[in-house]
Amino acid sequence: MSGSYHLWLIPLLPLAGAAINGLLGRTRPRSFVSAVGVGSVSLACAYAFFTFLRFPWHAGDAYVERIAPWVVAGNLQIDFSLYLDPLSAVMVAVVTGVGLLIHIYSVGYMAHDPGYYRFFSYLNLFTFFMLTLVLAGNYLLMFVGWEGVGLCSYLLIGYWFTKKSAADAGKKAFIVNRVGDFGFTLAVISIYWMVGSLEFRQVFPAVASMPKETPMSAGPLTWICLLLLMGAAGKSAQLPLYVWLPDAMEGPTPVSALIHAATMVTAGVYMVARSGVLFTHAPLAMTAVAVVGAATALFAATIGVTQTDIKRVLAYSTISQLGYMFLACGVGAFGAGIFHLMTHAFFKALLFLGAGSVIHAIAGEQDMRKMGGLRQAIPWTYGTFLAAALAIAGIFPLSGFVSKDAILWKASPLGSPSGSWLYWLVGLATAGLTAFYVFRLFFLTFHGEPRSEAAHHAHESPRVMLAPLAVLAFLSVVGGFVGWPKALGGHDRFEAFLAPVFRLAEELAPAAHAAQEHAALEIGFSLLAVGVAALGIGLAWLLYVARPRLAERSAERLGALYRLVLNKYYVDEAYNFAIVRPLVVGSTRLLWRAIDVGVIDAAVDGVAQGARNIGGAARRLQSGNIRSYAGWVLAGAVLVVSFMTFLWAK
C-alpha cells in the first residue's frame, strides 16, 4: 500500500499531553491543564477521523506503518509497527471519540479535585497506551499497550489513595491482571516460538496455512489460544478473573466510564478478535471462549440484580455485556462482537457518566436506597439515562437492540454453525435480567420519593458534563443503524466493513452467510428478545414503581380497591415468591455471597495469605546463625553430590 498516513501521531498526541500536564501542570491554572488534556485527545480524534476519511478501505488490505526497527538481534526481529485495518479503525474511533467525551466530562466532574493536573495526566497517558494497544502491528507492541493500560488503570483506581479501600482495589486489579498477563506472556513467547515472528502481517498468513487442530488433535495452537484467552479474561473481567472490576469502582466515575466500561476492559475482546485466525484454527479454544462468555454473561447479570451501589450494578453489567462479546467471538461472529463492543461503549459510558452526574448531584452518595425521585431535579441526566437504559435493555430500534440481536442470532445454531441453543437461551435469559436490573436501578434512582436528605437537595450538573451525556445519548439511540441487519431491511454495513479483517478466519469457520432463508425466523427471534426485555422492564416497574404507589392508594381507599389490592398483592407475592425471591435470594446467597465473596474472593485472599505463609516459612530457614547456614550449604552439597554420583552409577 502506498502513501504514508503518519499513524504514529494518533497515540503520540495524548502522550505529549500527559507529559506536558505531568511536568508543568502543577504550577499552571486549571484552564491550562484542561486545554492540554482535552486538546491533545481532540487533536488525536480529529487526526484519526481525517485519516480514516482518506484511507482506501475498498482495497481491503491492512496498512502497516513501520516506524523503526525495535529489536534486531540474530533471528529475532521486531519493529515498532502500527497496523491499520477496519478493526483497529473501529477501536481507534471508539477510544478517541468516547475518550474525548469523557475527558470533557471530567473537566466538570473533577473541577474541585486538588490533584486536577495529575488526573488529566494519567487519563492522557491511559489514552496513549490504549491507542498503542489497538494500533500495534505486532504482539509485542500490543503487549506494551496492554501492560501500560493496566498500569494506568491501577493508578487511576487508586487515585483517591487516602481511601484505603481505593488503594486496595488498585492493588487487587493489578495482581489479578498479572495472572492474566502470565497467560498472555506465555502466549506471545509461544507464538514467536511457533511462527518465528510476532508481526501480525506475518503471523496471520502463517497460521492460516496451518492445518486446523480438531479437539481430538489439540496441539500448540490450542494451547496458545487458551493462554490468550486467559490474558483476555483477566483484562476483560471474565470468569474467573472478573473479581477486580467491581472493586475498581473505587476510582473516580469518569475513570470507570472510560477504562472500566468503554475501552480498556474491551481490550480482551479486541485481542481475541484480532487473533481470530488463531482461534478459528483451534475449535476447542473457540468453544472455551464461547462458554466463558456465556457463563460470565449470565452469572454477572444475576449478581447485578442484587447490588445496591449504583456503580457496582453497572460494573456487574459491564462484566455481563463483555460476556456477550466473548460469546460472539466464540461462535465465530467476530463482527457482531466488535459491533456490540462499539454500541456498548456508547451506552455504558453514558450510564456511568449519568451515574456520575447523579452522584455529583446528591453529594457523593452511591447507595440507590438513599436516592429516588431525582427525575425532576436532574431532568437532563434523567433523559439521557433513559436512552442508555433502553439501549442496554435492547429495545427496538436502539443501538443495543441491533448489536445484541446480532449476537443472539449468531449464537443460535441457525445463525452460525458453531452456535447452540444453549448459548442462545443463556443469552436470552441474560437479556431479560439485564433489562430488569437496569430498570431497577433506573426506577430506584429517578422515580418514587426521595429517600434521603441529599436526594431532596439534588442539583443538576454543569453544562460541561451534560454535553457529553447528550452526545452519547444520541449515539446510543442511532448507533445501531450503521449495522442494521439485512433481515430488517438494512445492509449489515458494519459487518461488511469489518469483513476483510476476518477473511482469513472465516475461510475456516464459514459464518452462515447462507442464512438468508431464515430471515423471517430472525425477525421472530428479535421480537422474542424485545419481548423478554419488555418483560424485565415491566417487572422492574411493577416492583419498584407500582407497588409503593399502590400501597399509598390502598391506605386512602382501602375499601373500594380491596379486591384490586388483594389481587395485586397476590401477583406481587407470586412474582416475589416465584421469580424475585429465588432470583434475589438465590443469587445473593449462592452466587454473590457464596461464589463471588466466598469462593473467588476467598481464593484471591487465600492465595495471598498462603503465599505470605510460605514466605514466613522460607524465612524461618534464615535463623541468623552462621553455623546453621554452613549446615545448609553442606546439606545442599551432600544432595548435589549424591545426585551426581547416583546418576553416574546408573
Partner 1 sequence: MPGNVPITHYLFLSTALFTLGVIGVLARRNIVIILMSIELILNAVNINLVAFSRHLASVSGQAFAVFIIADAAAEAAVGLGIIIAMFRNRGTIQADELDLLKW
Partner 2 sequence: MSYGAQILRLLPEAILTVFGVAIMLADPLVRRKRALGYLAVGGLVVALLGTVLMVQQGWWGPAFSGHILNDPFAVFFRVLFLLIGLLVVCSSFDYLETNAIHHGEYYALVLFSIVGQGLMAASVELVMIFIGLEISSIATYILAGFRTRDVKSSEAALKYFLLGSFATAFLLYGIALIFGATGTTHLAEIRAALRAGPMGPMAAVAAALMFVGFGFKVSAAPFQVWTPDVYEGSPSPVAGFMSAGPKAAAFAVFLRVYLTALQPVEGWFWLLWVSALLSMCIGNFGALVQTNIKRMLAYSSIAHAGYVLVAFAARSELGVAAVLFYMAAYAAMNLGAFIVVTHFGGEGERHVSIDDYTGLGHRQPALAAVLTIFLLSLIGIPLTGGFFGKFYIFQAALKAKLIGLTILGVLNSAVASYYYLRVIVVMYMREPAPTSPPAARVPGAISFVLSVAAIAVLYLGIFPGDVLQFATRSAAFFR
Q: Give every CB contact of residue 73 below 8 A, 6+ residues apart in sequence.
A: none
Using CA atoms, how far apart are residues 126 and 592, in angstroms rounded to an integer?
Answer: 31
The residue behind cell 492445518 is 211
Closer by beta carbon to partner 2, 26 or else 459: 26
Q: Give every CB contact of residue 12 below 8 A, 6+ residues apart in sequence.
A: 128
- Pick one of partner 2, partner 1, none as the site partner of residue 516 (Cβ within 5 to 8 A by kind): none
Closer by beta carbon to partner 1, 560 or else 630: 630
Burial environment of residue 182 by CB neighbours within 10 A (0 to 12, 13 to 18, 19 or more): middle
Q: In angstroms, what is the minimal distance from the CB of 158 to partner 2? A: 5
- Pick one of partner 1, partner 2, none as the site partner of residue 73 (Cβ within 5 to 8 A by kind): partner 2
Closer by beta carbon to partner 1, 23 or else 634: 634
* Identified binder of partner 2 from the candidate list 111, 144, 470, 550, rule CB under 8 A: 144
Q: In angstroms, what is the minimal distance from the CB of 203 to partner 2? A: 15
Closer by beta carbon to partner 1, 513 or else 620: 620
- Pick one of partner 2, partner 1, none as the site partner of residue 528 (Cβ within 5 to 8 A by kind): none
- Pick one of partner 2, partner 1, none as the site partner of residue 53 (Cβ within 5 to 8 A by kind): none
Residues that bind partner 1 (CB under 8 A): 619-620, 622-627, 630-631, 634
Residue 56: strand, helix, or coil: coil
Q: Name the β-bridge partners of 84.
A: 63
Q: Name the β-bridge partners of 80.
A: 68
C-alpha cell recorded at residue 20: 506536558
Tell me which residues in 187-216 interact with partner 2 (CB under 8 A): 189-190, 192-193
- Pick one of partner 2, partner 1, none as the site partner of residue 143 (Cβ within 5 to 8 A by kind): partner 2
Inter-CA distances, 222 with 110, 142, 288, Å: 46, 21, 10
C-beta separation of 382 from 337 below 8 A: no
Tell me which residues in 61-80 interact with partner 2 (CB under 8 A): 69-74, 76
Nearest to 467 by CA among 361, 574, 381: 381
C-beta atoms surrounding 481 within 10 Å? 13
User: Of the ranges 47-55, 181-189, 332-340, 422-430, which one interacts with partner 2 (CB under 8 A)?
Assistant: 181-189
C-beta separation of 472 from 353 below 8 A: yes
- Compute the residue count for the chain: 650
Q: In angstroms, what is the minimal distance from the CB of 569 to partner 2? A: 52
Q: In angstroms, what is the minimal distance from the CB of 624 to partner 1? A: 3
Q: In angstroms, what is the minimal distance from the CB of 649 to partner 2? A: 8
| 493 near partner 2 (CB under 8 A) | no
Binding-site string for partner 2 from residue 603 to residue 632, where x marks contact by CB under 8 A and - marks none: -----x--xx-xxx-xx-xx-x-x--xx-x
Q: In angstroms, what is the minimal distance from the CB of 634 to partner 1? A: 6
What is the secondary structure of 446-467 as a DSSP string?
A: HSS---SHHHHT--PPPHHHHH
Which ranges in 238-377 belong to alpha helices (H)? 244-247, 253-257, 267-274, 276-280, 283-306, 310-330, 334-361
Closer by beta carbon to partner 1, 73 or else 618: 618
DSSP code, position 67: E
User: Measured at the alpha carbon of residue 419, what is the angle toward residues 416 and 421, in degrees to the nearest 5?
Assistant: 125
Closer by beta carbon to partner 2, 178 or else 369: 178
User: Of the ranges 179-187, 274-282, 546-554, 572-580, which one interacts with partner 2 (CB under 8 A)?
Assistant: 179-187
Closer by beta carbon to partner 1, 574 or else 634: 634
| 27 near partner 2 (CB under 8 A) | no
C-beta separation of 519 from 486 below 8 A: yes
Closer by beta carbon to partner 1, 73 or else 621: 621
| 114 near partner 2 (CB under 8 A) | no
Q: In angstroms, what is the minimal distance from the CB of 95 to partner 2? A: 19
* Identified binder of partner 2 from the candidate list 143, 204, 316, 401, rule CB under 8 A: 143
C-beta separation of 79 from 138 below 8 A: yes
Closer by beta carbon to partner 2, 183 or else 450: 183
Q: In angstroms, what is the minimal distance from the CB of 647 to partner 1? A: 21
Inter-CA distances, 110 with 34, 246, 381, Å: 11, 21, 18
C-alpha cell recorded at residue 75: 533471528
Inter-CA distances, 202 with 74, 143, 492, 500, 574, Å: 18, 17, 30, 16, 60
Q: Contacts with partner 2: how many residues (CB under 8 A)?
A: 61
Using CA atoms, how far apart are residues 220 and 168, in angstroms rounded to an integer?
Answer: 37
Binding-site string for partner 2 from residue 629 to residue 648, where x marks contact by CB under 8 A and - marks none: xx-xx-xxx-xxx-xxx-xx
Closer by beta carbon to partner 1, 217 or else 622: 622
Q: In angstroms, what is the minimal distance from the CB of 636 to partner 1? A: 13
Using CA atoms, how far apart are residues 554 and 127, in angstroms rounded to an integer?
Answer: 55
Closer by beta carbon to partner 1, 489 or else 624: 624
Q: Enumerate binding residues for partner 2 (CB under 8 A).
A: 69-74, 76, 140, 143-144, 147-148, 151, 155, 158, 161-162, 166-167, 170-171, 174-175, 178-179, 181-182, 185-186, 189-190, 192-193, 608, 611-612, 614-616, 618-619, 621-622, 624, 626, 629-630, 632-633, 635-637, 639-641, 643-645, 647-649
